[in-house]
Every structure is written in structure tokens, then in C-alpha cells.
């Protein structure tokens, strides 16, 4: 009996819209008995589409419980669920899930459920069970190991529980551990931005290649290369992993440090905003990174919000570029916030060296992971050249001001013949160490 025209056209349309008919070979899940499909690629490669389409295929194959895990709750919602390549946009009309943001849940017509999780809250993964998981941008997770571990404990339903992890390469310990399992239970797909050139605007490709081609940032973000420490860098990534903690002890002091950008337009520098504390154990702790590209009122509001959130003692702000306007901007948001203005009289590298020494000695810990900050720290060398690097390390500057305030204090010792002030690294458990620096540090 011949097929009815309506049914034939519907089938033809379904086949034409099929992901496997449109996808590049590297965007389709590999065959084999693997536990993790790790997609490491540059921006614009189509990683999000890989995750979305793989999720649809899992639901169609009978998976009833799916976990969606992103760096933050906003990332899960804006990219994985509601994004242009997210689950809702890529779902076929006949099998589109119902999204309930308040419940962090998507429900398909057949009853299958996907639950949204933020890597900022690993404990939410304690208890729930899943048959499959899509983990996005694992290189940017704040608590990568804790979140991954809790997910694995609950990934136990069905005959073949498995996960896809899509990410731009960041040399985190979790990512390195997964790469080391390649050929065992992990399958890796690698790719570059230009692999997806047919779906990207030519003007975009030319612009990013002209600006970032051949640079360290371009190799990581466009070519998908896993980059290790820079020769001569003042910070090493191994220090962050060695001293990383999941929570800070009782803190004696907390400061919010701000390195304001001088403009707010496309291509402008970011405003560095770092929250740091000094523990009763005498060690320093990085608590938060609120850096970003903001208008003056926006960065001031962000700094004050973090001041209140972490119950900080004061805001420390660099005034080189904005002078008294920096303090005035903060006062407009909240006139009660204590503000200390600092002035840099010499280069970034010299200012950074005492704080780098504290890291090397194991006296500063990151509470969770701060990928963007750690990238800046581990790429900053004593011969840093902004023009060559293509950016200004504003997060690093803010961090240096924070720990200069907390753990390094200025001493003018008239009996010493140094031309500039002497910096004393504060320690509670041992004698002071002196650094012949060149800070101009003013309250």
C-alpha cells in the first residue's frame, strides 16, 4: 500500500531536520562503550549544539533522568536550556520539552525529566540519580572536583549511564584527569573555531583571527589548545591546585579590591573586582571574583554588593586612572562604605612579586576555582607586555591590591638605605620577611 502524502512529507521533513543529517562527523557521539564523551574545542565550534543534540538523542533512546550541569545557574538557563543552540531551540516540534524555571526542570512529552544544576552548588547533586548528564564548560566550574564527584555518585541509573562534557580547554585538574583516561572510559573530540566556518559570519572569523590569531589567548579560545604555564610566569597553576580549599576558615579581615577600567565600550578592559580575606590561621583566601566589563555605576554597585555579601571591612580601589572620581562613584552607591584609595607608581610586575611569593610559599588559597583569574595569573610574566598579550590583567591587579592590603604592609625604616619604602610580608606564625619594593601606597 503506498504511503499517504501527508505521512511521506512529514517523514521527509523529519529526516531533513535530523541532526545526524546536518552535523559534522565530529559533532556526532562516537561509537563504543565509553563513560564520558569529552568535547574540547574553541569558541563557536558547536559544542553547545553537540550537548543539546546528544541530550535529545538520549531522551529519544529511553533515558528518563538527565542532569544538566553548567558553571552557574544563569549559564544553564541562558546557554544550555534557552540559548540559540540550547535544548529548547534545537528540540523537534513533536518532542519539545516543557521548561519550568522555578523547578529547574524540563519535562518531555514521554515523561522524561532533565534537572538543572549549577557547579557553584555541588551539594545539590548529592542524592538525585540520573541515567545521563550533559556537563558544559567544565573548565570554568568553580568547584570542579566536588561537583564532578557528586554527579558521578548519582549517575547510576539504567544499563549504560554516561555523560558528555563540552568545554573550552582550561588546564584544570579535572580536565587533565579526564584526558588521562582517554582510551579507557573517556573518548575525546577536539576542534577549532574555524571547523564551523560555514555557520559563522565571515566578518566575525576575520575579526577574531586578525585580533587573536597566533596569540596565547587565540590558541586557547579559538584553536582549542590546552596551554600550560608561561615560561617565567610569576604564578604556576600547580600552586592553585595544591592549596585550593572548598571553604575558608574564620576570617579576621575581608576586603573588596577594585581596579577600575578607564572606559566602557566594546574592546575595553575589564574592571577587576576581587574579594579576599585573611584567616585566623594567618593565611590568605580568595573568596570571590566579580570582575567584568561595566559602566562606572555598574562596577561600583557590584563592588558594594560584594562588600555587603562577604561582610567586608573596606573597599580598596586603585585611583591611577580615575583619581577622586573612583571614590565618588563608590560613594554614590553607598556613602557608608569605607574606601581606601591606592596609587601605583611603578610597573605591574614589581607590584605583583610580593603577592606571587606568598602563593609560592603556600600562604594563599583559592576557595573554589576562579578560571579567568587563574588564567591571568599563570600567564603573567615579569616581562609582561600588554600590547603583545592583547589585554590588561585587571583581575590580577585587583588581587594584588587585595593581598597588599591584607598581608603586605608598608614600612618606612629610616635606618635602612633603600630608596623606596620597604614592604613587609605579614605572617602570624613566623618572623617577617622583607621585600625591597617600589609601591606608593596611600590611604
311-325 pLDDT, tens digit each: 999 999 987 665 678
Query: Are 237 and 360 contacting, i.e. CB atoms less than 8 angstroms apart?
Result: no
Grid coordinates representing 203 are 566578518
Query: Does residue 226 register a pLDDT over 90?
Result: no
pLDDT in tens, 327-365: 888 999 999 999 999 887 667 778 888 999 999 999 999
Q: DSSP characters for 217-253?
A: HHHHHTT-----PPTTBSS-HHHHHHH-BSS---EEE
CA 357/CA 362 separation, integer angstroms:
9
pLDDT in tens, 379-392: 888 655 554 444 57
Query: Does residue 211 register a pLDDT over 80?
Result: no
pLDDT at 266: 55
Q: What is the CA radius of gyration of the chain?
A: 25
- With bands split at pLDDT 50, 70 and 90, how would you rate the model's confidence at 217? confident
CA 177/CA 204 separation, integer angstroms:
34
- With bands split at pLDDT 50, 70 and 90, how would you rate the model's confidence at 106? very high
CA 389/CA 366 separation, integer angstroms:
25
Grid coordinates representing 278 are 585573611
In this structure, of 164-168, 233-237, 386-390, the range with the lowest mean pLDDT score is 386-390
Query: Does residue 116 register a pLDDT over 90?
Result: yes
- With bands split at pLDDT 50, 70 and 90, how would you rate the model's confidence at 4? low
Query: Does residue 111 register a pLDDT over 80?
Result: yes
β-pair type (408-411, 364-366): unpaired
CA 190/CA 224 separation, integer angstroms:
7
**SS3 state at 119:** coil
More confident residue, 226 or 164: 164
- With bands split at pLDDT 50, 70 and 90, how would you rate the model's confidence at 210? confident
pLDDT at 19: 80
Largest CA distance in the chain: 105
Number of other residues whose CB lies within 10 A of the CB of residue 311 = 9
**SS3 state at 343:** strand
Query: Does residue 64 register a pLDDT over 50?
Result: yes
pLDDT at 114: 98
More confident residue, 287 or 183: 287
Q: What is the pTM of this model?
A: 0.70
Which ranges of 140-201 would DSSP assign to H, the alpha helix?
A: 144-154, 173-180
Name the percent of the chain lying above pLDDT 90: 57
269 DSSP assignment: P
Amino acid at each position: 500500500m503506498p504511503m499517504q502524502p501527508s505521512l511521506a512529507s512529514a517523514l521527509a521533513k523529519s529526516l531533513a531536520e535530523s541532526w545526524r543529517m546536518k552535523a559534522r562527523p565530529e559533532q556526532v557521539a562516537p561509537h563504543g562503550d565509553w563513560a564520558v564523551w569529552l568535547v574540547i574545542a574553541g569558541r563557536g565550534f558547536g559544542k553547545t549544539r553537540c550537548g543539546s543534540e546528544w541530550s535529545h538523542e538520549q531522551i529519544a533512546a529511553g533515558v528518563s533522568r538527565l542532569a544538566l550541569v553548567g558553571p552557574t545557574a544563569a549559564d544553564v538557563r541562558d546557554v544550555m536550556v534557552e540559548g540559540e543552540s540550547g535544548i529548547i531551540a534545537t528540540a523537534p516540534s513533536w518532542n519539545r520539552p516543557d521548561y519550568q524555571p522555578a523547578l529547574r526542570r524540563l519535562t518531555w512529552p514521554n515523561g522524561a525529566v532533565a534537572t538543572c544544576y549549577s557547579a557553584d552548588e555541588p551539594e545539590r547533586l548529592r542524592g538525585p540519580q540520573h541515567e545521563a548528564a550533559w556537563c558544559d564548560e567544565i573548565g570554568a566550574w568553580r568547584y570542579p572536583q566536588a561537583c564532578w564527584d557528586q554527579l558521578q555518585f548519582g549517575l547510576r541509573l539504567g544499563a549504560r549511564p554516561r555523560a558528555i562534557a563540552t568545554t573550552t580547554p582550561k588546564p584544570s585538574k579535572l580536565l587533565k584527569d579526564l584526558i588521562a583516561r582517554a582510551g579507557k572510559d573517556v573518548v575525546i573530540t577536539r576542534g577549532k573555531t574555524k571547523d564551523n566556518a560555514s555557520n559563522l559570519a565571515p566578518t566575525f572569523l576575520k575579526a577574531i583571527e586578525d585580533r587573536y590569531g597566533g596569540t596565547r589567548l587565540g590558541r586557547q579560545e579559538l584553536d582549542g589548545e590546552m596551554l600550560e604555564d608561561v615560561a617565567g610566569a610569576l604564578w604556576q597553576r600547580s600552586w592553585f591546585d595544591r592549596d585550593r580549599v572548598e571553604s575558608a576558615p574564620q576570617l579576621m579581615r575581608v576586603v573588596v579590591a577594585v581596579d577600575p577600567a578607564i572606559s566602557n565600550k566594546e574592546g575595553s578592559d575589564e574592571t577587576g573586582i576581587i574579594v579576599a580575606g585573611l584567616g585566623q590561621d594567618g593565611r590568605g583566601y580568595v573568596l570571590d571574583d566579580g570582575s567584568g566589563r561595566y559602566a562606572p555605576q555598574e562596577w561600583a554597585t557590584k563592588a558594594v554588593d560584594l562588600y555587603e555579601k562577604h561582610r567586608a571591612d573596606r573597599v580598596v580601589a586603585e585611583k591611577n586612572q580615575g583619581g577622586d572620581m573612583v571614590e565618588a562613584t563608590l560613594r554614590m552607591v553607598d556613602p557608608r562604605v569605607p574606601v581606601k584609595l591606592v596609587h601605583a607608581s611603578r610597573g605591574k610586575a614589581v607590584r605583583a612579586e610580593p603577592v606571587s611569593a606568598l602563593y609560592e610559599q603556600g600562604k594563599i588559597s583559592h576557595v573554589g576555582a576562579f578560571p579567568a583569574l587563574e588564567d591571568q595569573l599563570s600567564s603573567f610574566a615579569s616581562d609582561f607586555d600588554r600590547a603583545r598579550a592583547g589585554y590588561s590583567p585587571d583581575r590580577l591587579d585587583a588581587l594584588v591590591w587585595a593581598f597588599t592590603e591584607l598581608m603586605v604592609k608598608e614600612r618606612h625604616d629610616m635606618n635602612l638605605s633603600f630608596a623606596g619604602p620597604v614592604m613587609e610580608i605579614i605572617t602570624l606564625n613566623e618572623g617577617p620577611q622583607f621585600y625591597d619594593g617600589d609601591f606608593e601606597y596611600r590611604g
